[in-house]
Structure 1
Amino acid sequence: MVSGSPAATGGPSPEGEDKSGLRAALGGLTTRGRSFLAAGIAAAVCAYVLGQSDLLRVGLLLAVLPLICTAVLYRTRYRVAATRRLSPPRVPAGSEARVHLRMDNVSRMPTGLLMLQDHVPYVLGPRPRFVLDRVEPGGRREVSYRVRSDLRGRYPLGPLQLRLSDPFGMCELTRSFSASDLLTVIPRTEPLPPVRLAGEAAGHGDGRQRSLALAGDDDIIPRAYRHGDDLRRVHWRSTARYGELMVRREEQPQRTRCTVLLDTRGLAYQGAGPDSAFEWAVSATASVLVHMLERGFAVRLLTDTGSSVPGAGSEGYAGGTQNSADSAGLMLDTLAVVDHSDGAGLSRAYDVLRGGNEGLLVAFFGDLDEEQAAIAARMRQRCAAAVAFVLDSGTWLTSGAVPGAVEERLRGLRESGWTTVAVPAGAALPELWRLAAGERPESDSAAAPAGSPADSSRSASVSASGFSGGRS
């Protein structure tokens, strides 16, 4: 939302500024105004040389008219307020957002012809321009335009420019508003099937763990009463001691944790653009984050730099104490601007993961050399279950390329207890998600009956991926 008044509104300015502004106003002469001024000067010179007084009067009229229009337009004081509204302010890549502009005339005099232009980055489309006819005192005009980007990121919209013109079209002056807005283009997300990964405990229900504050009446640590607490939990001994109402701490449900690791190393990916391997990994990470939050997990987004989403819950996890929609929005905003890191290894991410029991780990790796594959294998030791989606970026650049060392890296990860899935170019994440759970993709089951050659081929590839959910 942006509102304000152009610099043209206000009282008289000092003499120096007034002269400077007048010179700038003369620079706003249109082609018509410059032509009239040049014709008037030429006619005046010819009249002086030829001694024609009538021609001199015509020349003076032609030369003075654009100057008078410029002076009147410069002295015009329109008081207008502009408002910008984005709908929605956060949009997935490839989707459209609508920008609504409202112009209010807050002065006591009507405006002339107004031309609006909003500054928009070139990736969002051409700059929108609108022409507003006379706006009555206290009146308003509303216009809107659409923006669309296939590239994620944060894009500034504005500032809004207001162009004033005189009735004869001799001069145009531009006044700018100061404020601008940000449009956030987040990665595209895909709905994932509600499968259960190998070794995964559910976010709630039978897989839920509980934590006790302390056991026993003597060792209990009460807390102050909060509105909505059950009065049956009042601890009267502590209430008498502290002089205020105290309640017992009871066992609290602890959500199963899920860490989603995104490998952002620049050396791990080749190519660029919306269809590159890195953009696929970012979009897949966003899809998994949203899916796990919807299933009730406490989720953390982690990158190879060892940093998690800023402002999330305790220890970088979100969803346990925050609203799931707010947590998802925070992580998607982070992924909207994530870029390649300068790091060459995964050691910092491993240092974060080895600090405690991380529950479920879902990782999206780029190209892994022998050293980084060994570090990734050690990440599995502190996790109840781990799933790795490994992208061989070479296959994304060359159609039909044969995967190189990726199979060897997958074998090493499987031996460490990872559930591994190789990601070919253009793969569909929902199908890979089913493979990670040991299920056959729906497309294969519909296309080939059991026992057919296609079914045997798929079974062999699934077996080669080595789905293991046990602890190493």
Structure 2
Amino acid sequence: MPEAGDPDRGPLRAAFSGLTTRGRSFLAAGAAAAVCAYLLGQEDLLRIGALLALLPLLCVVVLHRTRSRVTAARQLAPARVAAGSESRVRLRLENTARGVPTGLLMLQDRVPYVLGPRPRFVVDRIESGGRREVTYRVRSDLRGRYPLGPLQLRLTDPFGLVELNRSFTAFDVMTVLPKIEPLPATALGGDAAGFGEGGRRSPAITGEDDVIPRDYRHGDDVRRVHWRSTARRGSLMVRREEQPRQDRCTVLLDTRRRGYEQDGADPAFERAVSGAASAVAHLVERGYAVRLVTDTGAVLPGEDGEQPDPAEIGALVMDGLASVEHSDGMGFEGAREALLRRDPGLLLAFVGTVAKEPAAELAALRRGGAPAVAFVAAGQLDARLEQRRMERLEEGGWTVLAHHRDSSLAELWRTASRATLGR
């Protein structure tokens, strides 16, 4: 993290508000001694009064200067963690004042309550140009994006006469990813065209060329020049090698609030988010081109421009799932429009309860003979009612599995694999 915030550089007179009871008592005693010295004509008493009054004033000036010369930085390791894992936070303080050490420092870093109590530290004086580091750990079982900071600093002098506060402005964000359940290495179908076991074909390896030529680029092998197209276009054209086709998968996440409204503590929605994250992580590891679509039509990692590599896709989708929230939508119209813009390939849906009309919309999302599997967050309604709603999806060619609170996603994955490969 870069240097934290801008220091508080208020006028010097504002620093006098930091005088403690002891400091104010010293001022009052000094003033009283000075008055008595004047009335009694005692020079020694005047010197004592001056010392009592000047000591807190000197502490105010020194601390005010030191406060604006203390910088802070924060480092998270790592900044992205899975739910239930810890992240280590390191705070580094530096005294940039020349020739002036700090007094006693008391630190407090602001953290959300879900990450634990606010960490507090006491740091001894820091010499001019010196540094000090303190560390603490944060942990959350709930996914989300949590701000850490800003840091609050309190400085005191060795005599306890002055206390000055300093609040930095910079903060960092800790991303807690959804829980991921390891899935078995079984196929759910979905080759490069969206069907089958997932075998990749690469005509380039066997020497076959794409029939569509492209413009010559510096460094291209001249043996690949396509002379017929070159003569037709008047510029060098080369035969383009066909790239290996990549298996595709679309993970659909139902975020409709009404799909989980019967679930008071909301574990069903978190179960669906965790299931989607597990599927994305598993498929990215197996080399699939994965994208996440929600019922509103939101798409991750996006559809514009050049697509990132699989590792970046997984990171982008996970970051999106870390902060995904409920939508107020009624159906899956937004998802339908997003799926129409690109062949979804293998379609995996993690949904809540689905009424008649949304079930019809969801069933229509399956295109052609592509495998489609729906993991329904069951246990929110009467068992017979849930069964009837799941049957509506099955009539549309979906493989439908009940994702109960105590069910294992790995076992459901194996069941889905047997069902899709047996179709």
| TM over 0.5, shorter chain | yes
Aligned sequence identity (%): 55
Question: 1:412 aligned to 2:392?
Answer: yes
Question: 1:305 aligned to 2:291?
Answer: no
Question: 1:28 aligned to 2:18?
Answer: yes
| Counterparts of 2:203 and 2:360, CA distance in 1 | 34
What is the CA-CA distance between 1:363 and the residue it aligns to? Answer: 0.2
Alignment coverage as a number of residue pairs: 414
The 5 A counterparts of 1:331-350 are: 331-350=317-336
Task: Tell me, yes or no, if the aligned pair for 1:26 and 1:70 is still in contact at 8 Å.
Answer: yes
What is the CA-CA distance between 1:328 and the residue it aligns to? Answer: 0.6
| Counterparts of 2:179 and 2:361, CA distance in 1 | 30
The 5 A counterparts of 1:276-291 are: 276-291=267-282
1:14 aligned residue: none
Q: Deviations over 1:189-248 (max 9, x none)?
A: 111101122x54379986336799xxx999743233265x55543445667888986531
Change in Cα spacing, 1:85 to 1:469, as seen in structure 2 (3 Å) is same
| Counterparts of 1:124 and 1:301, CA distance in 2 | 28
What is the CA-CA distance between 1:380 and the residue it aligns to? Answer: 1.8
Question: 1:358 aligned to 2:344?
Answer: yes
Q: Deviations over 1:38-61 (max 9, x none)?
A: 7778x78x989x999999998887
2:80 aligned residue: 90
Amino acid at match of 1:194: A
Change in Cα spacing, 1:76 to 1:103, as seen in structure 2 (3 Å) is closer
Pairing partner for 1:154 from 145, 148, 169: 145
2:363 aligned residue: 377
The 5 A counterparts of 1:58-69 are: 65-69=55-59
Change in Cα spacing, 1:64 to 1:79, as seen in structure 2 (3 Å) is closer
What is the CA-CA distance between 1:361 and the residue it aligns to? Answer: 0.3
Q: Deviations over 1:5-57 (max 9, x none)?
A: 75267xxxxxxxxxx6334322223344355567778x78x989x99999999
What is the CA-CA distance between 1:341 and the residue it aligns to? Answer: 0.3
> TM-score under structure 2 normalisation?
0.83
| Counterparts of 1:283 and 1:349, CA distance in 2 | 20
> TM-score under structure 1 normalisation?
0.76
Q: Deviations over 1:120-174 (max 9, x none)?
A: 2222222222232232333322221111112211112222333222121121212
| Counterparts of 2:201 and 2:255, CA distance in 1 | 33
Secondary structure, aligned partner of 1:81: strand
Q: Deviations over 1:295-316 (max 9, x none)?
A: 11111100000110154566xx
Question: 1:223 aligned to 2:223?
Answer: no
Amino acid at match of 1:293: V
Secondary structure, aligned partner of 2:343: coil
Question: 1:128 aligned to 2:132?
Answer: no
2:173 aligned residue: 182
| Counterparts of 1:413 and 1:323, CA distance in 2 | 33
Q: Which structure 2 segments of 5+ residues have no match?
A: none
Secondary structure, aligned partner of 2:101: coil
2:285 aligned residue: 294
Secondary structure, aligned partner of 1:190: coil
Tell me whether 100-109 or 279-288 shows the greater mean CA deviation: 100-109
Secondary structure, aligned partner of 1:2: coil
Superposed CA RMSD: 3.7
Q: Which structure 1 segments of 5+ residues have no match?
A: 10-19, 396-401, 439-466
1:443 aligned residue: none
Task: Tell me, yes or no, if the aligned pair for 1:28 and 1:171 is still in contact at 8 Å.
Answer: yes
Task: Tell me, yes or no, if the aligned pair for 1:161 and 1:175 is still in contact at 8 Å.
Answer: yes
2:159 aligned residue: 168
